[in-house]
Amino acid sequence: MKSLIWLIDDSHQPNLRAGTVSRIGEPDYATAAGPFVRVTAPRLVKTLRDRAANAHYLGKATITSGDYDVLAFLMTVGPAITMYFDKKSHLLRRSERLLPGIGLVRYDFAGYETVDGVAVSRKLRFYLNGNFNMERQHVAIRVNEPLDEWLVVDENLAAIPELTPDPLTRQEVANGVWLIGGSGTYAMFVDMGDYVFAVGGTAGIPERIASLRKVIGDKPIRFGMVTHHHFDHVLSVAPYAAEAATVMGATVHEPIVRRAAGDGEALRFEGVDGRRTPEAGDRVIEIIDIGPTAHTEHLLVAYLPAEGILFEADHFALPGVGPVPPAVSSTRSLAEVLARSGLSVW
């Protein structure tokens, strides 16, 4: 038998690669669809029209690529979006959004063509605080196709429990090495004797530090390592800076790290080119740039050779429920790096 997926009352999330399907515990269209709407020019324009009551014309703007009409509106979830429409073609060419703690997020839309009467953009470029971050190509675009086949749970998918947020947990994975976090987002804290070396993390670093204090007291956090420059990881910069820690990152990422600090000029920053090995007593921690990988050109990992522990970010994820999914390109590239480097990871 097959059952229909109802958008609100009985929503499901299929994972065709893993062969699983799970219910969505608290389905909400505005939250779930937001990431798709923001990167799909026609859908973003339609959302602007649907929310015309809170939209405002901000005037005209001239930037290097031409003259634009500028509008802004509030989405159902999150800060306002500013949109730049080409005055000649009337096509959406740029959107901007200022996210607290992250900065200015910008999308540029290009490669327009008409599909079934709808102007669609095939190319998307993403910028964070003015720095190029990612480019995406839409290979296939279909407009107004029937959705019936997509609203059915395939009977061959294995049902797994719905995913619920994890409470914040603290695990001592080796003597003096703590992994603190939940729901797939963690930071690692290493007791170096006189100080603590903090590794990685995205949102929620202050809460993780508070949990750490319960077991180490007021021992200072002297270093906070940022794995890479993506917006969800530089969120850790300001909390580490608030601890008076030196923030360590790939040298080429220094401009983005300083912007994320709030007071970039006052930030103590140490760049890593290749490898850096802070030592304290018997503890050795190696900071290694394993890039380029499929995820980013430069990415720092923390390796504890005595413990056989490697902390990395964004190359694979263990699901909260269900089986481990098949490897993707990022996972394979991490495996290749480990094989080349000879790191002994338990």
The identity of residue 267, as a single letter, is L
Mean pLDDT of 131-151: 84
Confidence of residue 4 (pLDDT cuts 50, 70, 90): very low
List residues bridging with 12 in a β-sheet. 23
Report which DSSP code applies to 37. Answer: H
Cis peptide upstream of residue 79 (ω within 30 degrees of 0): no
Reported as a single tens digit per residue, the pLDDT across 198-226 is: 999 888 899 999 999 999 999 999 999 99
Length of the chain: 346
Tens of pLDDT, residue by residue over 11-60, are: 777 887 778 888 876 667 777 778 888 889 999 999 999 988 889 999 99
pLDDT score, position 58: 93
Question: How many Å apart are CA 243 and CA 187, to the nearest integer?
Answer: 15
Angle 328-330-331 from CA coordinates, rounded to 5°: 65
Cα–Cα distances in angstroms (integers) from residue 253 to residues 106, 120, 293, in the given order? 18, 33, 16
Q: Per the confidence metrics, is the pTM higher than 0.85?
A: no
User: Could you tell me if 195 and 220 are in contact, meaning their C-beta atoms sit under 8 angstroms apart?
Assistant: yes
Residues 6+ apart with CB under 8 A from 253: 226, 228, 229, 298
Instruction: Give the Cβ contact number of residue 272 at 10 Å.
Output: 19
Distance CA 334, CA 316 (A): 9
Structural element, H or E, at residue 50: helix 41-50
Q: How big is the chain by its Cα radius of gyration, in Å?
A: 23
Q: Which of 74, 77, 72 is nearest to 92 (CA)?
A: 72
Q: How confident is the model at residue 64 (pLDDT cuts 50, 70, 90)?
A: confident
CA distances from 242 to 32, 124, 219, 262, 321 (A): 33, 35, 15, 10, 35
The percent of residues in the chain predicted with pLDDT above 70, rounded, is 94
8 Å CB contact between 60 and 70: yes
Sign of CA dihedral 320, 324, 326, 327: positive
The residue that leads in pLDDT, 165 or 127, is 127
Mean pLDDT computed over 326-339:
83
